[in-house]
Every structure is written in structure tokens, then in C-alpha cells.
Amino acid sequence: MNTTWMCAVGLAGLTITWGCRESLAAGPAACPGDSVRVAVKSGGQGPQFSWTPTCLMGMVQVNETDTVQYYSGGSYGGIIWRSNSTDTNTVLPPVTYGQRSAGTWQEVAPQALVPGTVYTVSVWRIHTESGRPYWLNVAGQVSFTP
């Protein structure tokens, strides 16, 4: 009777391990319609940005206004921080303001956030054509006040 019970526990352990491996191999979620819901959480090292579904993005950007823009008239028009991946969507949440995610670079260095000021964070997807980066699409954004 003890032998049967131990085999059942061993089999259950094998099933759990296999299930965990399967979920890790599944990777990030798909981005249906390139649309995500962005959330901001206050943190000790600065605001932390996340989005659902938890899919790969190409860029995270913070603007000092409610106008989200990529580049306009030779300047970055109100962009106070931007972290980009190079050519592909590699950024997963959470992302902390001013800190680069693995495989990214800071195109716009972070500026100090002013308490009581409204900012907008946006997350962008890179689209490719013939295997090369072609355009960026805003997948989601939300305003926040530190």
C-alpha cells in the first residue's frame, strides 16, 4: 500500500514539473489587435509600468504632456524618457521609469519627475516588412501623476 501511494506522488510530481515546463515554453502572450491596457504602480525606484496582455513591445516612452508623439519638427516634443529595443519587440513588463530592460537602449535619458505633474506613458509595437523594422504603433497608453 505504501508503494502504490509513493508511485502516485511521484507521478503527480512528474505531471506538475511537466506542466511548469510547458507554461515557461509558451512564452509571452500574443498582442491581439496590437492593443494593450497599460497600468502604473508607484514604486521605491520610480513608477513601474505594466500592460495586459503581457506581450512583447518595442518601446516604452513617457511624455510630460497628454500628447503622445514619436518625433516632431526636429525635436522630441515633451518626451522625457524613452527606452527602445533594436528592430524587434523584446520588452516585457514590468518596466521601471528610467531603467532599461534587457536588450534595450535609452534614446531619451530620464528627466526628474515632478510630483503633482501629469505624465503619459505609452508602449509601442514594432512592425516589420520583409524582415526589417518598418513602423511603430502605439499599443496602449495611460496618464499618471507621481
Spatial contact of 119 and 143, defined as CB atoms under 8 Å apart: yes
pLDDT recorded at residue 130: 73
- What residue ranges do the domains of the chain occupy? 32-144
pLDDT recorded at residue 68: 61
pLDDT higher at 89 or 6: 89
Evaluate the CA torsion angle 52, 56, 60, 65 in order and state its sign.
Answer: negative
pLDDT digits (tens, 9 = 90+) for 95-141: 999 999 888 999 889 999 999 999 999 999 988 777 776 788 899 99
Report the alpha-carbon distance of residue 139 to residue 19 in Å, rounded.
31
Q: What is the CA radius of gyration of the chain?
A: 20
Beta-carbon contacts of 2 under 8 Å, excluding residues fewer than 6 positions away, are none
pTM value is 0.74
pLDDT, mean of residues 75-96: 86
Could you write out the DSSP letters of every residue in 39-86? EEE--TTS-EEEEES---BSEEEEESSS---S-BTTB-TTEEEEEEES
Report the alpha-carbon distance of residue 64 to residue 102 in Å, rounded.
25
pLDDT digits (tens, 9 = 90+) for 39-48: 999 978 899 9
Closest CA to 62 of 126, 107, 31: 107
Q: Which of 31-45, 55-69, 112-126 has the lowest mean pLDDT?
A: 55-69
Level-2 CATH architecture, domain 32-144: Sandwich (2.60)
pLDDT higher at 22 or 107: 107
